[in-house]
Amino acid sequence: MTVIVTGAHGQVGRCLVALGGKGVTRAELDLSGAGTAGFRAAASSLFADSQRPDVMINTAAWTDVDGAEDVTNRRTVEAVNATAPGELARAAADAGVAFIHVSTDYVFSGTAPDGGRGWRPDDPVRPANEYGRTKSEGEQAVLAAGGTVVRTSWVWSGPEAPGRDFVSVMATLAENGVDPRVVDDQVGRPTYAPDLAGELWALAHVEVPPGILNVTNSGEPVSWCGFAREVFRYSGHDPARVAPCTTRDWPTPAVRPPWSVLDLEPWSTMTGRTPPDWRDSLRRGLGAGFRLG
Ligand SMILES: NC(=O)c1ccc[n+]([C@@H]2O[C@H](COP(=O)([O-])OP(=O)(O)OC[C@H]3O[C@@H](n4cnc5c(N)ncnc54)[C@H](OP(=O)(O)O)[C@@H]3O)[C@@H](O)[C@H]2O)c1
- Give the residue extent of every domain in the chain: 3-156+192-218+262-276
Q: Give the single-character DSSP code of 234.
A: H
Q: Is 102 in the pocket of ligand 1 (CB under 6 A)?
A: yes
pLDDT at 162: 67
Q: With a cut of 50, which residues of the chain have pLDDT below it?
A: 290-293
Pocket test for ligand 1, best of 63, 149, 165 (most atoms within 8 A of CB): 63
Q: Is the CB of 17 under 6 A from ligand 1?
A: no
- Ligand 1 centroid from CA 241, angstroms: 31
Return the CATH number of the domain spanning residue range 3-156+192-218+262-276.
3.40.50.720
Residue 292 pLDDT: 37
Question: Closest ligand 1 atom, CA of 135?
Answer: 47
Q: Please provide the size of the chain in residues.
A: 293
Please give the DSSP secondary-structure letter assigned to residue 83.
I
| Residue nearest ligand 1's atom 4 by CA | 155
Strands 211-214 and 148-152: parallel
- Model pLDDT, residue 288: 57
Q: CB atoms < 10 A from the CB of 256, how many?
A: 20
Q: What are the two backbone dihedrals, phi and then psi, of residue 156, each rounded to the nearest 5 degrees?
A: -140, 160
Residue 115: the pLDDT is 78
Q: What is the pLDDT of residue 92?
A: 97
Residue nearest to atom 33 of ligand 1 (CA): 26
Rounded Cα gap, residues 147 and 145, in angstroms: 6
Protein residue with its CA nearest to atom 39 in ligand 1: 9
Query: CA 220 to CA 184: how far, in whole Å?
Result: 15
Distances (CA, A) of 87 to 2, 131, 206, 216: 20, 18, 23, 26
Q: What pLDDT score was predicted for residue 209?
A: 86
Positions marked catalytic: 131
Give the pLDDT confidence score for residue 121 in this predicted structure. 97
Q: Where is 244: in which H helix or E strand?
A: strand 243-245
Q: Is the CB of 26 under 6 A from ligand 1?
A: yes
